[in-house]
Amino acid sequence: MKRLTFIFSFYLFLLASSWAHESEGTKPFEKIHAHRSLEVHAHGGWESRYFSEGRDALDGKSLWTGSVELGYDHFSGGVWYGRSSNHQYDEWQYNLSLSQELGAFEFYMGYTHLVFSKDKESDDEWSVGISYTELPIGLETSLDAYYSMDAEGSFIEWSTGKEYNPLDELTLSVSTVLGWNENYVSDGHNGLNFICLRTGAEKILTESLSLVGHGAYSWSLDQDLSLPGDQQLKDFFHLGLGVEWAF
């Protein structure tokens, strides 16, 4: 109980000291609420490590990523691809989601089909989430949960932070993420898994092109080295660089 109290006290301290917010990129798809206009976004970039559920999923290998997302009214969808630097791993994700805004709240639910080509495996995930944008001092918070049909388990993430614009063409951000495993990582421990502090920046180059980058440090919580699923759950830093297009 003392450890749990310390974790949440530390988390609240990070929230109070946050200067900016950017959603954590553990899930690759942006939920586009387009208000009856068609929007298309494309992303391409490099990640120094594959951060997933608080784990260094490729054991230090970097990841090249690309995605295309479309949104119209309450509906959005996209395709995401990731490939390791040594070409020993690749992953496809195909996503559909439905979102609804209600004042300062936004709700969504979605479906993702994942394909791991080199392993000849696949999975299906269902996700739900809620976000709120009018906390004191401009903070925003969101709670996201996703369920794996293959693992028959869920993972929950709570993120909070803030963003600001020192210049019209520059957005800076800081956010914190707290992760909880419930059999999603089936061979890892259940309960709190990690806390992560992330900073990010977006520099607008043209009306449709931006440069983006982020850096993050993740701390493992209650790692159990006797469990195979906790071997990659550790303290580590990772960063990413990329470009974004909007059409």
Mean of pLDDT values over 114-124: 94
Mean of pLDDT values over 160-185: 96
Tokens 């070409």 found at: 87
Structure tokens given for 59: 């054991």
* pLDDT tens figures, 127-143: 999 999 999 999 999 99
93: β partners:
80, 114
Phi then psi dihedrals of residue 39, to 5 deg: -120, 140
pLDDT of residue 61: 96
- Cα separation, 121 vs 214, in Å, equals 30
Q: Domain spans of the chain? A: 2-246
- Cα separation, 226 vs 188, in Å, equals 9
The one-letter amino acid at 242: G
pLDDT of residue 247: 84
Residue 36 binned pLDDT confidence (cut-offs 50, 70, 90): low
pLDDT of residue 37: 79
- Cα separation, 202 vs 108, in Å, equals 25
List the helix and strand counts (H, then E) for the chain: 1, 14
* pLDDT tens figures, 60-94: 999 999 999 999 989 999 999 999 999 999 999 99
CATH of region 2-246: 2.40.160.40
